[in-house]
Structure 1
């Protein structure tokens, strides 16, 4: 058996003393070993860990809450939520906001309030998980981003944001975002309906060219217009208050001096929304607000009809669009309008299409066309130059034709601007005045992939003959579009 020297016994004694001091020392004790190294006592080490914020990390909060500590008091941190939990000896306790939540609260408290709009101006706003308003807001009057959104975008993203109404290629712009080089981006909103501009739609259409031949790819329908919602709500109020129904037909003159007429259903009440047919007639017939007799039986079916002089043989020019917008608003004002069908005949077919394509008439449910024109340029080059020049104030030599008619020739518009709506064409291959092959058939061929387009070829000779104006056929289309 080896002999233990006196030196080893002395060293063992010193080591035992160091160990005792480490275990039994106070939370301020420092242990110095036999070899001159220093360590905090156990109590001192625990105190330092706690004071410096040392926490046991857990990957998820669920893992943390499922754990049971072996010491009486302990703090731990969940790395997914960034929250700190405290163990009191029997259960975990939430210590409050994480540094992430505190930062969000600080941003809301210190930054957003200088921009946020009052609740009186906001139609819709997104709040965070603490209930604070964020910068995702919609203006009650326009349906566009609020001034607050514009200011936040300017400051946070350091990008150029235009919020004054300007014009781009004939379209009024409500809000536009530019890149660092000053070029307009796809985040450009037109003033008329809060949707993409024509340029953006065309660009997106080109980018989606691979998909454009797919029957499954269709554009969207427009959301219900505020005038429709107000019309239905006002009708219910009138019904409750037992307000007498207006006289029918209802006649009025719009702000540009154009006479207009609204025919209300034979039997209806203000508590039930009714479909409105807006009629655009052809050459000559457009000068009067009278709807042709063949459509009047629709009044017995609960359908309202209306028509404006629309500035005569307008070929759907801007003045015509403004008059028909006033007519639409007046109809919504006096009756509970729940859906809109545009009916265009001959020249009026271009006007009806323009009312949809320019969004002059919102919330359109369907487009019904008889002996329709489709290409404005084709009509200009084939006998209607004088009429179209007068309607669009085009120079006699036609030098400014493209400029004056930009945005008003349906044949030049992108398919997506027809909004995927149902379209019904009633015409004849026997029509030599407005040839089906050059107009109605071309429209059908262009839109058939993207819209539900039907075409009835009556096969009879002549233009605008009686068989083109069939109230039963029109009512079937109204039922299809409105589900009445």
Structure 2
């Protein structure tokens, strides 16, 4: 854009290691970084371009996300499949074309790093601010800014390297009479004036008191300050202790700012991808005014905007305007279900045939048998089968009413979810993309009662995972999915988007982790969990329930699966702040995620009778869950290597600063005989007090799993505080 000036940015990053033996000398070698993220954040968040063409305009300055390639070079890939280059351009904030204009000598951008690796070694580069200009750094070529050149260098033991003019500094401070006098490097002195009156009331002030031999056997100020028996030394010792404790608990602003930048960048990336797909994705808004968009094997009828069986043979209808053989797509509709009766069924799902009039042998989806309103899976040639993984809260039989159906297809398979309009009870099925892939969305209308039977309401179809503009359909109910976030079956997740979700607007995401011997669907079965789930959706939160590989007890494999699930949602849906919710064993899994901060933008943590103390659950190899913990961490049968194998994975043994800046809320009962409140919630809440903005233990009643731990309105109120709602 000619209205602005731009600064070209390059860089290369490596890791200095011992001699690798690949050369004739014994000197240390450099291993180039092989992966990583580099965020370049403008320190001015917006600029005004008064001389803009054709009219003046105001522009926001986005965070630029770059990557580090396999040779250590900074790279930038343009959106929508654009080219990848070993450089990136950023707006020159020192240019006279922008207002405000960064003055001479001031920084323009902040550079932060994350997930930087040299092979398998994690490299921790510090955050820094620098000045990036269209003129360049003066060393790397015309108009080029090398991050190695522009980065400030912190002085080490050797001669410090500085950039810029040397200023005047303080060389000495002394007490002259009753005055405090400072000597500067240019030879001048600054008299700060007379010191305050000392404890003895002398007009000579503190200086006289401090150097008065009669006040103590010590004769110098330094000696008195070091002597804890002297009033001066005692006061100084107490002050240092207080300030040290306060400093430890004070927010680490640099670290928190870095996490804030990373979280904001992830949210911006998520929103940008979602908005782009929203604008570009093909769509169908079907109100059944005609059937021109559908191929059908038999006749159907439309009444009051709903699709019904007509007579004769049941109809299998397919939408041929969007191929499902690759990529992502989504269908959402509503079903009006009367009381059970008649014969036949209705199925919403996909077919595997790409053309022609499909038979039910290539159809799979959710089936409602209208004879008894039972809900089953329709599995192609296998016909109707029981739900593969029903929960105690699953919809297995429908009462008369209106229900929502969401069919979502991605590179890993097809998810079909039938749910109540409040999103609470749901029937789920998932079919992995193995063998013959899905080809077209399909509706099978076979309820022989005609307009007295099950009616299919307005239906929206979109490529990608984005919502449509038909808010009557989108807003009718939350949208649920049950699928893999990767190509293998060890990554199942359950995601529900609130009814208010719009792909153009980010929503906060609650990531839930289950307890021991449970999975991603147990959010529906843990006592009163469904009431919390429903309340979160009603409050506008998206809810992601992860599997984590089963009984992981917070190990690295479970952390990797949680991170994978987060990235899947981030890359396909518009999400904002992240909230963590751990139930029982899920407490330690989510706490370890909080400590590691691999998921950026964590705004709050909540635990329901949470495990916070791994050692107490292992109990010297004799605890109830010692066997599961040994398996999760690969601990020897006698428990002898417990400390080594679990190092860094026990929140109760961590430094309190690891939880700095994140509000925390615990729900625990003193009567819990499975996860001790005293050993877990109370211990961790005490540890983090003063570091976390909130660390509250809500006293509950009853044993492990008691319904008193599930307080929907309180959960929502806490999360609202965390995100500033």
Could you say whether these structures have the same fold, taking a TM-score greater than 0.5 normalized by the shorter chain as the test?
A: yes
1:173 corresponds in structure 2 to 123
Equivalent residue in structure 2 for 1:217, among 250, 266, 279: 250
Residue 164 (structure 1) aligned with residue 114 (structure 2)? no
Is the counterpart of residue 332 in structure 1 residue 556 in structure 2? no
Aligned mates of 1:397, 1:275 — CA distance in 2: 44
* 8 Å Cα contact 2:668-2:681 kept in structure 1: yes
Conserved? CA contact 2:250–2:691, under 8 Å: yes
Find the partner of 1:285 among 507, 511, 518: 518
Q: 1:231 aligns with which of 270, 283, 288?
A: 270
Alignment of structure 1 residues 232-251 onto 2, 5 Å: 232-241=271-280, 244=462, 245=466, 248-251=479-482
Q: Does 1:377 align with 2:618?
A: no
Residue 250 of structure 2 is aligned to residue 296 of structure 1: no
How is 1:48-447 mapped onto 2 (pairs within 5 angstroms)? 120=85, 121-122=87-88, 164=118, 167=121, 172-175=122-125, 210-213=243-246, 217-220=250-253, 221=256, 222-223=259-260, 224-225=262-263, 226-241=265-280, 244=462, 245=466, 248-255=479-486, 257-286=490-519, 288=521, 290-291=523-524, 292-297=529-534, 298-381=536-619, 382-447=623-688
Alpha-carbon distance in 1 for matches of 2:497, 2:638: 45
Q: How far 1:274 moved relative to its partner? A: 0.4
Partner of 1:469: 710
Assess, with a 3 A threshold, how the Cα gap between structure 1 residues 456 and 136 changes in structure 2: closer, same or farther: closer
Contact 1:211 1:217 in 2 (8 A): no
Aligned residues: 324
Indicate the SS of the match to 1:285: coil
What's the offset of the Cα at 1:236? 2.8
Partners of 2:518 and 2:504 lie apart in 1 by 34
1:127 to partner: Cα distance:
9.0
Are the counterparts in 2 of residues 315 and 391 from structure 1 also a CA contact under 8 Å?
Answer: yes
Structure 1 residue 414: Cα displacement: 1.4
Distance 1:269 1:144, change over 3 A: closer
Corresponding position: 1:481 with 2:722 = yes
In structure 1, what is the equivalent of residue 698 of structure 2? 457
Counterparts in 2 of 1:393 and 1:300: CA distance versus 1, 3 Å: same
So what's the TM-score if we normalise by structure 2?
0.40
Q: Is the 8 A contact 1:123 1:138 kept in 2?
A: no
CA distance in 2, matches of 1:386, 1:337: 38
1:435-464: CA deviation from partner (whole Å, max 9, x where unpaired): 211111111111111112343434412112
Offset at residue 289 of structure 1 (A): 6.4
Larger proportion of strand: 2
Counterparts of 2:110 and 2:701, CA distance in 1: 53
Task: Confirm or deny: 8 A CA contact 2:595 2:659 kept in the other structure.
Answer: yes
Determine if contact 1:427/1:457 at 8 Å carries over to the other structure. Answer: yes
The answer for unaligned runs of 5 or more in structure 2 is 1-71, 77-84, 97-101, 127-152, 159-239, 284-461, 468-477
Q: Do the aligned residues in 1 keep the contact of 2:274 with 2:574 (CA within 8 Å)? A: yes
Give the gaps of 5 or more residues in structure 1.
1-114, 146-162, 183-206
In the TM superposition, residue 216 of structure 1 has moved relative to its aligned partner by: 6.8
Preserved contact between residue 493 and residue 520 of structure 2 (Cα < 8 Å)? no
For 1:174-233, what per-residue CA distance to the aligned partner results, in whole angstroms no more than 9, with x for missing partners?
A: 449999999xxxxxxxxxxxxxxxxxxxxxxxx999533469722343224333221122
- Tell me how far apart the structure 2 counterparts of residues 403 and 343 of structure 1 sit (CA, whole Å): 28
TM-score by length of structure 1 reads 0.58
Deviation at 1:290, TM superposition (A): 4.8
Distance in 1, Cα, partners of 2:251 & 2:74 = 36
Counterpart residue number, 1:17: none
